[in-house]
Structure 1
Amino acid sequence: MAVLTGWAVDDTGCRTPDKGTGVCVRLSECKTMIKFLKCKKMFSEKEKEALRSYRCGFYHNEPKVCCNDDPITLGWIVDTDQCRTPDGTDSVCVPLGDCKIMYNFIQANAVNDIIRQTLRKYRCDNTGSLKVCCPTKLPAVLIENRIRDHTQHPNAKLLPTDCGNSATDDKIVNGNVTNLFEFPWAAVLKYEKKINPWSCGASLISERYVLTAAHCIMSQNKLTTVRLGEHDFNTDPDCQESVKKICADPPQDFEISKEDAIVHPDYNPTTFQNDIALIRLPKPANTSVYSVSPVCLPLTEAEKSLTYDDYTVIGWGATETGFASRILLKVRVPQVENAICASKYADKVQLTDNQMCAGGKNEQDSCAGDSGGPLTNEYILNGSFKTIQYGIVSLGPKICGKEDFPAIYTRVDKYVGWILENMKP
């Protein structure tokens, strides 16, 4: 009995959407389809739908298409969403997220009035959806007026100006155990599972938002809680002896779900590209307490251009014993050039400029359970130290702290525009 799949019949004869005849083969074996895909870089939604109608099955994970020797033109589509850019170039009308050249520009740069007016000229759909007539190169007016200083973004006011303050000067040199109040922006995520439910990190960036990794949100386990102000899971309250005994306020727990999270739309769980997400808390965090306050983000060009030999990463992840720590730990990790780091992951992921590497020092690294946590460094602002977040723990070797094998972090400075665009009061 023949099995019908779309236009196809078996793995031999099939009929193409334009009523031609062909053979159902793997996509990589269809020369006419491969040639068409290479020649045409952008497709409208209707064209994408038309191309999907060539599909006639799968070979493992690879799609099969109805293929013949006739050139593919898609001329049989009645409406192809064709449009013309303001400079008179023919293009296609696509959702803004599908127009990578525009989307990446907006993500990396502050959107001022000149840029906003220019983008409006590329709108090509008045139905309410945000579609643009996608150019093949950035308009000169955007390049000339690009502003990397995100303090000018309308939503920059949602971020605190008083950030990155550590409430202790008594820091352990070359130590791994953190002091009480040393990292008041540290957040931890809880999942609906019996073993180690607190298994991802995050950072508080405002009274309503925490920043974490996309893969922490897309976990198969149900996300239930964001906790702020935790230091040691074994004690309640958390206290520390110094000149006198001081104790922290109780941790703040926020019931949360995946619906409260905003995952980067281009997150790729296979390559870990765009491994970043925001979580909106159901109510403002109490940042007036001694142990909870936000970390700074790199908003200005000067803050983004700062480079360091090493960084601090924190978390409750697995230790050298193989078990998750009950107390917040810190470690200083050296920065590693992407070119060197890429060779370690060559068979797994392709590094981009949106990622950075650090670690690879024997038994000192981020580890399982630190995912989503912040990679930070201090800088001096108006004579005082502030802490700025440069990375998010994303991916690392199975064996933590392996010599000459650094971990991969999402670069926060590349996503400040995306973060601001997705925040609301």
Structure 2
Amino acid sequence: LQKLRSGQDFNSSHQYPQLLPRRHCGKGLIDGEKSTPSATLYEFPWIAKLFNRALGYNCLGTLISHRYILTSENCINFYFIPDLIVLGEYDNFREPDCQLEDPTDCAPPLRLYEVEYVVRNHNDYRYRIDLIRTTENVAFEDHIQPVCLPLTSELKHFRPSQYTIAGWNKNSKNTTGIIQKETIYAASSAECQINEEHLPHNVLLYTTSHENVANRTYSGGPVGAIVPSSERRFVQFALVISPVERCVVALDIVPYIDWIRANMVE
């Protein structure tokens, strides 16, 4: 079975199945009073680890439906093709995962899902997205939920004042195993000291107060924000390509929404 497949272009005259959730998504446990970098249990239930049995894990992705994980193309190549998706992880050093403040409040075990294949987006840009399909339906649980994508015109044009990324520390020595979150803000190429001529138009830049975001695994993971609504849902607007010192280079996913829909099957 071919693990890497080329995606098909979006055809506006074709009717695609509605497989992306619109309402039942982005519902993590949000603790607005907690300002520490450690996330709370159930706060980012859509973040996935891309795992290869021989090589370990190198990147993150986002659960977007019962069968698909969204990630960055630079996370997958002929040397690293994930064969497992890890979902429901919170603390790398503990199993089961429990709340720091309440050791009796514990999540179900993490879940492993086999990868059926990876769909590649082949556009003319340097940075692209990949869709990973699992061999079976992902069961949604308290610690495993899909993220929301900007499907409506209103969300596609929404620009939050700040965004959030999350990932785990790379160095396990003297650090926590709990997923860490970071507030980031839209930035210019001048702020990030990056030559704008070398940036494709689908790339977004963000700045952070963290001294070196490269110490954490963020690549492939979501850049998102809580959208003010009656349900306060987390919406993913971009995905992390790579951190650069105090900046984060990310890929705008809004132009890819139609492509994502065109390459999802039931």
Q: Is the 8 A contact 2:182 2:208 kept in 1?
A: no
Q: Percent of counterpart pairs with the same letter? A: 26
Determine if the alignment matches structure 1 residue 240 to structure 2 residue 92. no
Corresponding residue SS for 1:307: coil
- Please, which runs of 5 or more residues in structure 2 have no aligned partner? 1-7
Match of 1:389 among 222, 233, 236: 236
- Tell me the distance in 2 between the aligned counterparts of 1:390 and 1:368: 20
- Tell me the distance in 1 between the aligned counterparts of 2:95 and 2:159: 39
Deviation at 1:388, TM superposition (A): 0.3
- 1:345 is matched by which residue type in structure 2? I
Matches within 5 A, 1:249-328: 249-256=108-115, 260-266=117-123, 273-287=126-140, 289-318=141-170, 326-328=177-179
- 2:241 is matched by which residue type in structure 1? S
Structure with the bigger RCO (C-alpha within 8 Å, sep 6+) is 2
Aligned to 1:79: none
**Cα deviation code 1:192-224 (max 9, x no counterpart):** 456xx2221111000110101111111623423
Match of 2:25 among 128, 146, 163: 163
Determine if the alignment matches structure 1 residue 336 to structure 2 residue 197. no
Matches within 5 A, 1:22-421: 106=10, 111=12, 113=13, 154-155=16-17, 157-161=18-22, 162-166=24-28, 168-171=29-32, 173-193=34-54, 197-218=56-77, 220-242=79-101, 245-256=104-115, 260-266=117-123, 273-287=126-140, 289-318=141-170, 326-337=177-188, 339-340=189-190, 344-346=193-195, 350-363=198-211, 365=213, 367=215, 369-381=217-229, 383-397=230-244, 400=245, 402=246, 406-421=247-262
Q: TM-score, normalised by structure 1?
A: 0.55
- Tell me the distance in 2 between the aligned counterparts of 1:329 and 1:293: 18
- Please, which runs of 5 or more residues in structure 1 have no aligned partner? 1-96, 98-102, 117-152
Deviation at 1:160, TM superposition (A): 1.7
Relative to its length, the structure with more helix (as a share) is 1
- Tell me the distance in 2 between the aligned counterparts of 1:386 and 1:228: 19
Deviation at 1:407, TM superposition (A): 1.8
- Tell me the distance in 2 between the aligned counterparts of 1:313 and 1:172: 18
Q: Is the 8 A contact 2:88 2:111 kept in 1?
A: yes
Deviation at 1:353, TM superposition (A): 2.6
**How many residues get paired?**
259
* Structure 1 residues 223 and 244, CA gap change in structure 2 (3 angstroms): closer
* Structure 1 residues 356 and 165, CA gap change in structure 2 (3 angstroms): same
* Structure 1 residues 407 and 243, CA gap change in structure 2 (3 angstroms): closer
**Cα deviation code 1:266-299 (max 9, x no counterpart):** 376xxxx232100001101110x21111000001
- Tell me the distance in 2 between the aligned counterparts of 1:324 and 1:213: 26
- Tell me the distance in 1 between the aligned counterparts of 2:142 and 2:216: 29
- 1:331 is matched by which residue type in structure 2? E
- 1:389 is matched by which residue type in structure 2? Q
Deviation at 1:191, TM superposition (A): 2.4
Q: For the aligned residues, what is the CA RMSD? A: 2.8
Q: Larger radius of gyration, structure 1 or 2?
A: 1
- 1:163 is matched by which residue type in structure 2? C
Relative to its length, the structure with more strand (as a share) is 2
Deviation at 1:356, TM superposition (A): 0.7
- Tell me the distance in 2 between the aligned counterparts of 1:267 and 1:209: 24
